[in-house]
């Protein structure tokens, strides 16, 4: 269990995190979203014990992380930069991680590398950005830590490789009950395997929800009425958006699918149909409901 309690982190005059609270249960795949400078990397660095919080408490399994070697043994951070390994070959990189992580599995490493097929004796400096990231991820997964933190882990990966890496992470989570926290500014990247997402903005968590709940609790209904309806015509519904386009009315509302349809049908639409929403759309509408300008959030 990861716990942030009233955490504040400042860089001189800039506040990266302010009175931040968060709980991530064990085994969760948590997606951390936000624009550049939102505080995602800071959060991950504090979580990994690289940075020390100016105020508040950060614990993993009830223990403080900063300067705590035994807790750090349970976690591994794959940073957004991998150039520090440029001088190493993949084998040396593996050896490096194996030095510090007692559970490192050679077998897993070999298995994962057969998937990505990276040259083991070539210096990482000669790898492409995507290959370096693959190397970091396969080493990170092979370390078999309880917690894996990935900072912009999918940057520079092509779609097929992105999918492979995601699959690797999902497998690792299933095999080891690993808790994964992934930061990204792209919702699509984490949609497939994260079960909870949080949205950071200006050092504050403005949104933190289970993805299943989120998807199940917001729906888009396309319908047609004799007369253009307004929000006030549906007082029982928590409508996030209502708009008319080419004679069709789109209603985005919170609540279960059946309940939403039922409440709309009461108004005798000419037709009424439930349309699937992408996670991005759900996010946008949620944010707009919270009076945030979505263009500034993602």
By the criterion CB under 8 A, which residues form the site for other proteins? 11, 42, 45, 48-52, 67-70, 72-73, 75-77, 79, 81-84, 96, 99-102, 151
What is the smallest separation between the CB atom of 155 and other proteins, expressed in angstroms? 14
What is the smallest separation between the CB atom of 37 and other proteins, expressed in angstroms? 13
Classify residue 231 by its DSSP letter: G
What is the smallest separation between the CB atom of 9 and other proteins, expressed in angstroms? 8
What is the smallest separation between the CB atom of 243 and other proteins, expressed in angstroms? 44
Q: Count how many Cα atoms sit within 13 Å of the Cα of residue 122 in the half-sphere of its side chain.
A: 11
Residue 176 or 224: the one with the smaller Cβ distance to other proteins is 176
* Cα 169 to Cα 137: distance, rounded to the nearest angstrom: 9
Residue 60 or 221: the one with the smaller Cβ distance to other proteins is 60
Q: Is residue 201 within 8 Å of residue 291, measured between CB atoms? A: no
Q: Is residue 35 within 8 Å of residue 296, measured between CB atoms? A: yes
- Terminus-to-terminus CA distance in the chain, angstroms? 27
Q: Is residue 7 within 8 Å of residue 20, measured between CB atoms? A: yes
Question: Do you know the residue count of the chain?
Answer: 298
What is the smallest separation between the CB atom of 76 and other proteins, expressed in angstroms? 7
Partner residues linked to 251 by β-bridges: 221, 242
Residue 14 or 213: the one with the smaller Cβ distance to other proteins is 14
Torsion region of 91: left, alpha or beta (phi above 0 gives left; psi -120 to 50 gives alpha): alpha
Tokens found for residue 184: 């990204």
Residue 76 or 211: the one with the smaller Cβ distance to other proteins is 76
Pairing of strands 179-184, 147-151: parallel
Residue 85 or 225: the one with the smaller Cβ distance to other proteins is 85
Residue 89 or 260: the one with the smaller Cβ distance to other proteins is 89
What is the smallest separation between the CB atom of 277 and other proteins, expressed in angstroms? 36
């Amino acid at each position: 269990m990861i716990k942030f309690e009233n955490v504040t982190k400042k860089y001189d005059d800039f506040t990266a995190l302010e009175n931040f609270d968060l709980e991530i249960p064990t085994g969760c795949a948590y997606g951390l979203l936000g624009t550049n400078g939102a505080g995602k990397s800071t959060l991950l660095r504090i979580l990994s014990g690289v940075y020390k919080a100016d105020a508040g408490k950060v614990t993993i399994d009830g223990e403080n992380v900063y300067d705590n070697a035994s807790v750090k043994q349970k976690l591994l951070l794959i940073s957004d930069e991998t150039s520090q390994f440029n001088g190493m070959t993949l084998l040396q990189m593996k050896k490096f991680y194996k030095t510090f992580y007692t559970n490192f599995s050679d077998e897993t490493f070999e298995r994962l590398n057969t998937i990505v097929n990276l040259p083991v004796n070539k210096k990482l400096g000669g790898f492409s950005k995507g290959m370096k990231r693959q190397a970091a991820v396969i080493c990170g997964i092979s370390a078999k830590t309880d917690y894996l933190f990935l900072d912009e882990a999918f940057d520079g990966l092509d779609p097929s490789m992105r999918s492979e890496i995601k699959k690797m992470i999902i497998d690792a989570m299933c095999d080891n009950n690993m808790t994964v926290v992934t930061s990204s500014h792209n919702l699509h990247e984490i949609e497939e395997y994260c079960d909870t997402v949080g949205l950071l903005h200006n050092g504050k968590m403005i949104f933190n929800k289970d993805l299943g709940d989120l998807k199940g609790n917001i729906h888009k209904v396309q319908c047609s009425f004799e007369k253009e309806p307004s929000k006030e015509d549906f007082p029982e519904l928590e409508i996030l958006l209502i708009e008319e386009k080419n004679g069709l009315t789109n209603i985005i509302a919170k609540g279960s699918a059946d309940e939403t349809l039922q409440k709309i049908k009461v108004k005798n639409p000419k037709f009424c149909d439930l349309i699937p929403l992408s996670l991005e759309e759900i996010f946008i509408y949620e944010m707009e409901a919270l009076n945030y300008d979505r263009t500034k959030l993602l």
